[in-house]
Structure 1
């Protein structure tokens, strides 16, 4: 059980709720935001003293699954947040392995069979593990980068692009950063002993105030992005449909960017297919 992380998560979820959210009167003015600890304890049917110890990281024993169900209901947690709560409390199956970076051969072959779709595989830490030619032409020639520099979370928060300029010209960088932080928090819960995970999060916390602010919100569930817009140095504006398919057995994602047939963006992708990554200067505005 990660007592400190569990306590911080409980506190962040409690402070976002108002009494009226859970059917309680707001009463006199409150000095601090959110529900009071004793109110959460009443709603969860546990003692206030025990809930306070949990939130302060002082609980001597691991909470039972039944207690966690009660707390999750009291705090109106989503399914993803409830799962995360169980992982932090140690009542979910533990996973002390390191996250996988090897991509299934069938997925590698599939990428090459998608000439009109930009596709790439992401690890649990946002490292681009595999890609097809169109993905390289649309985003960057990943083959010219080290694995460290192929990490999209690192590039989003600490990238070497010009100050204020989003990587790959994407216009939804704020949304991506939020999603990346939520995903990395879940990744850390699944792989707490993986140095690649802990070192990346430590680096981002040290180098980005925005990452720290998002991390301290303790958000877990990401809203899927359905479209993404690039401003490409060779073909201009491209808006693509974004589909992310979970490769659950390796904790990876296959990300696919495509455009409706006959649309200007589809024509731009077709042109990129002809140009190839080697013909594109990604440093140009």
Structure 2
């Protein structure tokens, strides 16, 4: 691990980003260009102290998960991400059918969506990135263990994940999730991680196993979803799914119809969510 070069590289990448590049407000006058360390840490889902130690060429060796999160926070290209891994003494992620590295351009689109929830997932259901509104709606995935950042796994193994949906919508949500996962496995039957996820879900959830045996297949596309948020109440949102076939990733955007009750509640969620992020 080359601590000095790693620290210098992180400082350089941080200095070239403006707050608006990552969906943050400019705030008070800044003495130096670029993001603050605490802002990078927030985007990466790590403590400011831990990130600061990396930039100061000290502290423990970062994990692969942390390196991937920092690469996303700093909007690194694929080559820059690989360089970051090399500096930390790690082999970069090998090219896999499903990439976990979100392209900077897609992250830029995500960051510009400041008034509506949006997230990037791969076709396994792993949450790769969220904007502030999506964290306010679904919770911050970066605070969970890596295995629990998969939306299908959480839906079938964590009862709390279902509480976000009205009871009468839960069966349909379950069928849709399983059908989409089967479509992904059909495209890539040799994907060990995808097959492993299905195997673990079948062992853990009788409901998932029964639905899997129905052989329903359907790629997740646009839909209307209802959410029971604990603070703002029921939200009925149009769900648009923008596919990136090259990396089997999807940008999911939730919008409310203008002048509807859900539109008003989504505005309230934006205020509440930003207050929670500021206080955190």
Q: TM-score range by the shorter chain?
A: 0.5 to 0.7
Maintained 8 Å contact 2:237/2:262? yes
Change in 2 beyond 3 A, CA 1:170/1:147: farther
Tell which structure's C-alpha radius of gyration is larger.
1
Uncovered stretches (5+) of structure 1, i.e. residues with no partner: 1-95, 281-285
1:226 positional shift: 2.1
Aligned residues between the structures: 182
Once residues 257 and 101 of structure 1 are traced to their aligned partners in structure 2, the CA distance between those partners, rounded to angstroms, is 22
- 1:219 and 2:213 aligned: no
Once residues 257 and 106 of structure 1 are traced to their aligned partners in structure 2, the CA distance between those partners, rounded to angstroms, is 19
Maintained 8 Å contact 2:180/2:220? no
Change in 2 beyond 3 A, CA 1:124/1:167: farther
- 1:201 and 2:203 aligned: no
Once residues 257 and 211 of structure 2 are traced to their aligned partners in structure 1, the CA distance between those partners, rounded to angstroms, is 34
1:222 positional shift: 4.9
Aligned to 1:146: 145
Uncovered stretches (5+) of structure 2, i.e. residues with no partner: 1-94
Alignment partner of 2:214: what SS?
Answer: coil
Q: Give the alignment's TM-score, normalised by structure 1.
A: 0.59
Change in 2 beyond 3 A, CA 1:113/1:97: closer
Alignment partner of 1:169: what SS?
Answer: coil
Maintained 8 Å contact 1:243/1:255? yes
Deviations 1:95-123 (A, max 9, x none): x9442111111111111111222100111
Structure 1 outlier segments of 4+, above 4 Å: 222-225
Once residues 171 and 117 of structure 2 are traced to their aligned partners in structure 1, the CA distance between those partners, rounded to angstroms, is 22
Which has the bigger relative contact order, CA under 8 A and spacing at least 6?
1
Aligned to 1:272: 269
Of the three residues 146, 165, 179, the one matched with 1:169 is 165
Once residues 175 and 222 of structure 2 are traced to their aligned partners in structure 1, the CA distance between those partners, rounded to angstroms, is 11
Maintained 8 Å contact 1:97/1:191? no
1:219 positional shift: 1.7
Once residues 140 and 187 of structure 1 are traced to their aligned partners in structure 2, the CA distance between those partners, rounded to angstroms, is 25
Maintained 8 Å contact 1:141/1:278? no
Once residues 210 and 160 of structure 1 are traced to their aligned partners in structure 2, the CA distance between those partners, rounded to angstroms, is 13
Once residues 124 and 107 of structure 1 are traced to their aligned partners in structure 2, the CA distance between those partners, rounded to angstroms, is 16
Alignment partner of 2:125: what SS?
Answer: coil
Alignment partner of 2:153: what SS?
Answer: helix
Aligned to 1:101: 100
